[in-house]
Amino acid sequence: MNRTLSTIFAITLMAFGAHGADAQTIQASHGVRQVSVSFADLNLNSDQGVAILMNRLESAARTVCGPEPVNMDLTGRAAFKACNDRALGAAVADVGSPRLLAMYGKAPRTRIAAK
C-alpha cells in the first residue's frame, strides 16, 4: 500500500478561493487542487492510527474545498458540502483500509434541504 495518498479534486478555485495549508503540499493548476497526505507514521491496524488518518483526510478535504462557509447562501453551502463529501469519500476509498472505510461509514452525514 502506498503510504502517501495524493488525491486530486477538480474544483474551480474561483468558487472557493485559494487557501494556504501548513504542512501539506498544495498545487493549483487549471482549477485542480492536490493535497498529499502522508500516513507512513500510522498503524492502520489500530483504532488510534485510523482516527488520526481520518482527521488528516478531513483537514485535507477542507483545504481543497475551502473553509466551511459561514455567511453563504444554501447553494454555496451545498456546493461546499458536496465537494467535501466527494473529496473525503475518494480519499478514504483510495487508502483502501477496511478500518478506515468502517469509520467513514459510521460518520454522521448532514443533509441540507433545498427547494
The 10 Å Cβ neighbour count of residue 107 is: 10
The 10 Å Cβ neighbour count of residue 10 is: 10
Cell numbers at 1, concatenated = 500500500
**What is the value of pTM for the model shown?**
0.67
pLDDT level of residue 90 (50, 70, 90 thresholds):
confident
Worst-scoring range by mean pLDDT, 15-24, 44-53, 63-72? 15-24
Q: Look at residue 13 in the predicted model and tell me its pLDDT.
A: 31
> Domain segments of the chain: what residues?
4-106
* pLDDT of 114 above 60: no
The answer for residues whose C-beta is within 8 angstroms of residue 83's C-beta and 6 or more apart is 9, 11, 16, 61, 64, 65, 66
Rounded to the nearest angstrom, the gap between the alpha carbon of residue 58 and the centroid of all alpha carbons in its chain is: 5
* pLDDT of 58 above 80: yes
Q: Look at residue 66 in the predicted model and tell me its pLDDT.
A: 79
Cell numbers at 40, concatenated = 507512513
Q: How much of the chain is in helix, strand and coil states, percent to nearest 5?
A: 45, 15, 35
Cell numbers at 30, concatenated = 487549471
Give the pairing of strands 4-10 and 32-38: antiparallel
